[in-house]
Structure 1
Amino acid sequence: MVLNIPGVVAVVLFYILILGTGVWAARKSRKAERKSHGDRTEVVLLGDRNINLVVGIFTMSATWVGGGFILGVAEAVYTPKLGLIWALMPLHYSVSFIFGGIFFAKPMREKKYITMMDPFQIRYGKVLSGALVLPVLLVDLLWVACTLLGLGATMSVILDLPFVYSVWISSAVAIIYTLLGGLYSVAYTDIIQLSLVFISLWMCIPFLFLNPTSTNIAQTAFNHTFQEPWIGTLDHDSIWKWIDDFLMIGLGSVSFQSFHQRTLSASSPLTAQLTCYAAALVIAILGIPPALVGAVAASTDWNLTLYGSPAPYVRGEHSLILPLTLQYLTPSYISIIGIGAVAAAVMSSTDSGLLSATSVFTSNIYKNILREQASDNEMQWVIRVTVVVVGLVGTSITFYTKSTLILWLLGADVSYTLMFPHLVSVLFFKVTNGYGAMVGYIIGLTVRILLGENTVGLPVVLHLPGCTLEEGVYIQKAPVRTVAMLCTFVTTLLFSLLALFMFNHGLLPQRWDIFKVKHGVTASPVDAVTQELRENGGDAECDENRCGVALQPMLQTGS
């Protein structure tokens, strides 16, 4: 193994540029803290709610264009039996942003929540909302691990740099500038990172197309040349799985804290919505280069390259297809540029995962459950420590799997089957209460585990129609994730209604009503504040829209 010195130098220069940008943004964050008359925590976690449209578009798009996105799209297009039709991320993230912009961005931003978990804490109280926080933290940890895994794999192939060094150095850089300036550093470094991703990947494409070992991708799209057509197939047995994946990505992504962190930090509700719509277009465009890399790799006679025979898929290296393609089908200086693209993408998603998990833990667990009277200075230290801990744990996970796609799918699965139905219920169905949420959480999680997941070795216990035994392993043909999601959603609403009925009709004693749902709808603090304002002749509508700030004392006391 010979270290690629020019490549290492290029990566070091890139990291210096990112750190420099982070330091500059940190100074902007300090100025905002001095000018702010509110909570310094809000400045760190949400950029003082002062992120304009242009910066918002960059940071929203860059958050999703990570190592899992770039390497995952290329891997899906290249892998036989998958292909372009299964490379769902770019198109369906676009759908997710549009969906989130229409239904979630405005109501969340108007109420000035700190995190997406605030409405849960307001409606359900401390204990139950604390349990619902756990899946959100797990998703962010997997997100961090997924992005760093992609970078480590790419660097180890192109730079001949040991995987462990690549991952830990990159993680350290992301942790440092996230510590320095919070969301300001994350947002402004995202501008450089996303620009570099766009330019670098498109610079690599012409060299891939001109490589003599590759056949024109138009000819291999539908014809069996070196392997199955890269366009992919969708047979009758897999159509439900395709729909399942579509819904998981298209709907599940709006229950990521990283998404809501961008909309909640926008300078206005309208800016939050416009950010979503513009990012939907940007992310679709950014999905084109990695898809082309996968198509070229599937159209290449690898016997004619220095990589040799057999092909990467046969060797089980399909998850590394993007760095392998850049390494063996482009000049060395171009492959180094490609490294810059992957490094930039990873950084932009890693810092988002770090800050997302930190926001939820510090605001919804530490401040509102563990230490209600924590001072502003104490909260700053909690934020710093949490960023480091999340970074260390997320980085450690990368040593347990080699597939970015598995980590990404696992995180998206948890978000879709558990958090998405709960978020919809708490925001749009006033009948929802703690009893329904608790039962929905338990049943949804149980059903998802029983349905199994072959990619992570979880056996199938509950067989849905169409489940077949293939090579000693049961394979589900039904849309298992959507089934689990619907179980969570339906049971949440049904048991909420059942609890209302039983308490309001005296079938259960009022002293058992720990979630205080008697008298028709959940007696949430939001309703209490609004009613009090109306009774005193205040501008209830205006004040209600500021309930995310007004109710912080109630959140802290668990009212």
Structure 2
Amino acid sequence: MAVFVAGLVAVIIFYLVVLIVGIWAAWRNRLRGSQQEQNERIMVGGRDIGIIVGSFTFTGTFVGGGYINGTAESLYSPEYGLLWTHAPLGSFLCVIVGGLFFAKKMRAQGYTTMLDPFQCKFGKRMGGLLFLPALCGDLFWSASVLAALGGTLSVVIDLDIRISVIVSACIAILYTLIGGLYSVAYTDVVQTLCIFFGLWFCVPFAFVNPAVLDAGEEFARNNTRSWLGTCNPENIGALLDSLLLVVFGSLPWQDYFQRVLSTDSPKHAQVVSFISAFGILILAIPPALIGAVAINADWNMTGYGDVSPLEKGESALILPIVLRYLTPPAVSVIGLGAIAAAVMSSIDSSILSASSLFTRNVYKLAIRQQASQKELTWVMRITLFFVGALSTTFALAVGSVYKLWYLASDIVYVVIFPQLVCVLYFDVNTYGSFLAYLLAIILRLGGGEPVFNLEPFIHYPGGTNFPFKTFSMLMSLVTLIAVSYAVKFLFVNGILAKKYDFLGCKLAEEGRTIHIKEIDKIGYNAEKEKLHG
């Protein structure tokens, strides 16, 4: 099929606009001062992002291609439906919880990355271990949004999916390399506006298409379909497991905390969280409506073919399919711009997130404490490129956008969320953190993972209906607290001698936790690590 030239031109124009905005933001906030200040500006934007830009970049980060395309896919797929579409409500509740309990506390401490409090309390090695699940989460998240855009471009303008994914990733990497968080934040403003107006503009045209029956009518050829979805009593455990995974698994992300830490005050960190929560919920309505429209469409009346997207196994592409076959060509181009905007608003955040964590919390604090600030800048740029390349590879290899989106939240929910709660609100130590980390991974992998064809080796009661992800998270949380207090009790009371403190927590001494300012000043090395408590 020939490429839809008008659509291709529209995409090129949109990418140029985004690139120009990103370069303008970098120029407007051009990096001045010391090299250390420049690195901090790349990571957290100089900590002067206000409420308006902050609210847009918060919203744009959560509302990515995986969120938009995945919501439509979930509404359309018979195994999900509205009842099982947890991304909108879960993300809304996640940002509310983050604003209430985490945003202000993290911003007030002056951290630079999400892993800073972990390394302050647990030391460099444990911080490096916690980087691994955070990296996996960012990779899967980035892959989900790139896959969403690739599928959209291939359906709407007949552009090869590999070309669209690779070009989109390159554009995002380019302006993120140039301006860091400033470019990401300001392009998020443009992208979020495009998502809102673009998708809402397309919905009425899809509804009035002659091939779409009224939502209340029975679809004669398949009267069992319902956009509401179903949940039997035995499935309640799995339903709650999925919802809780999205609520708390979307919280411990560098993407989220990068925005929290970039705001100009702890109070504003809370405010932008609450504002963006409602933006996230509102932006889920158009793709949800599009998914419902697809259920009530008679695809024989369109140019799509004799069978439905469901029968063709193309549920993951339902949003672009609706744009292509149920709206006029000019309207579908506008919707295409909205999807491209959603992808760009998340992919840039995700690759910057992973590169920031590696550069600061792994390379600087755990591998090479004496690295110069110029060296760290180049490490971040190289890492950013490699993270983008890996995400692109995943995007081209895995089919379902929604499965990738869920998998990203799954990892951080089970492994990192209990660690984040404990490091901020409990007196825990490295012994508890390490054992909880191992237990979380074993219990989670024990339940299996269909995306990677991993068979379960732990048979939980109730099978797939048992909420084993939440169970794994809770066991990790309990283990972290219990082991930390037990080990501290043993050392403080002399039951265990100091020589057995092989992780160097100094629990039997008058120790203290290294403050983040000391980490920035001295790094972690064997001589100075005696400060760690």
Shorter-chain TM-score range: over 0.9
Q: 1:327 aligns with which of 308, 324, 329?
A: 324
Q: 1:109 aligns with which of 85, 107, 110?
A: 107
* Partner residue in 1 for 2:86: 88
Per-residue deviation, 1:224? 9.0
Counterpart CA distance in 2 for 1:503 and 1:394 is: 45
Counterpart CA distance in 1 for 2:191 and 2:168 is: 14
Q: 2:494 aligns with which of 503, 506, 515?
A: 506
* Partner residue in 1 for 2:150: 152
1:227-249 alpha-carbon deviations (Å, 9 max, x no partner): 51111112112111111111111
Q: Is the 8 A contact 2:137 2:409 kept in 1?
A: yes
Counterpart CA distance in 2 for 1:127 and 1:372 is: 13
Q: Is the 8 A contact 1:53 1:271 kept in 2?
A: yes
Per-residue deviation, 1:256? 0.9
Counterpart CA distance in 2 for 1:552 and 1:228 is: 57
Q: Does 1:456 align with 2:431?
A: no
Q: Secondary structure at the match of 1:408?
A: helix
Q: Size of the alignment, in residue pairs?
A: 527
CA separation of 1:111 and 1:309: change in aligned 2, threshold 3 A: same
Q: Is the 8 A contact 1:525 1:551 kept in 2?
A: no
Per-residue deviation, 1:344? 0.4
* Partner residue in 2 for 1:12: 12
Q: Secondary structure at the match of 1:115?
A: coil
Q: Which residue type is aligned with residue 115 of structure 1?
A: T
Q: Does 1:357 align with 2:373?
A: no
Q: Does 1:315 align with 2:303?
A: no
Per-residue deviation, 1:517? 4.2
Q: Does 1:548 align with 2:479?
A: no
Q: Secondary structure at the match of 1:313?
A: helix
Matches within 5 A, 1:119-138: 119-138=117-136
Q: 2:212 aligns with which of 202, 211, 214?
A: 214
Q: 1:287 aligns with which of 284, 288, 295?
A: 284
Counterpart CA distance in 2 for 1:548 and 1:78 is: 47
Counterpart CA distance in 1 for 2:58 and 2:218 is: 35
Deviates more, 1:52-61 or 1:371-380: 371-380
Q: Secondary structure at the match of 2:32?
A: helix
Q: 1:393 aligns with which of 390, 394, 406?
A: 390
Q: Is the 8 A contact 1:500 1:521 kept in 2?
A: no
Structure 2: unaligned runs, 5 residues or longer: none
1:457-493 alpha-carbon deviations (Å, 9 max, x no partner): 22122122212xxxxxxxx111111011011111111
Q: Does 1:377 align with 2:388?
A: no
Coordinate RMSD, CA, aligned: 1.8
Per-residue deviation, 1:520? 6.6
* Partner residue in 2 for 1:234: 231
1:148-175 alpha-carbon deviations (Å, 9 max, x no partner): 1100011011111111100111011000
Q: Secondary structure at the match of 1:92?
A: helix
Q: Which residue type is aligned with residue 512 of structure 1?
A: Y
Q: Secondary structure at the match of 1:525?
A: coil
Per-residue deviation, 1:365? 0.7
Structure 1: unaligned runs, 5 residues or longer: 468-475, 527-546
Matches within 5 A, 1:154-553: 154-219=152-217, 226-430=223-427, 432-467=428-463, 476-519=464-507, 523-526=511-514, 547-553=515-521
Q: Which residue type is aligned with residue 315 of structure 2?
A: H
Counterpart CA distance in 2 for 1:272 and 1:505 is: 41
CA separation of 1:521 and 1:207: change in aligned 2, threshold 3 A: farther
Q: Secondary structure at the match of 1:330?
A: coil
Counterpart CA distance in 1 for 2:334 and 2:419 is: 42
Counterpart CA distance in 2 for 1:147 and 1:425 is: 31
Per-residue deviation, 1:41? 1.0
Counterpart CA distance in 1 for 2:486 and 2:500 is: 14
Per-residue deviation, 1:455? 4.0
Per-residue deviation, 1:132? 1.0
Per-residue deviation, 1:369? 1.4
Counterpart CA distance in 1 for 2:131 and 2:221 is: 48
- Give TM-score, length-normalised by structure 1: 0.91
1:478-521 alpha-carbon deviations (Å, 9 max, x no partner): 11110110111111111112211222233332112133445579
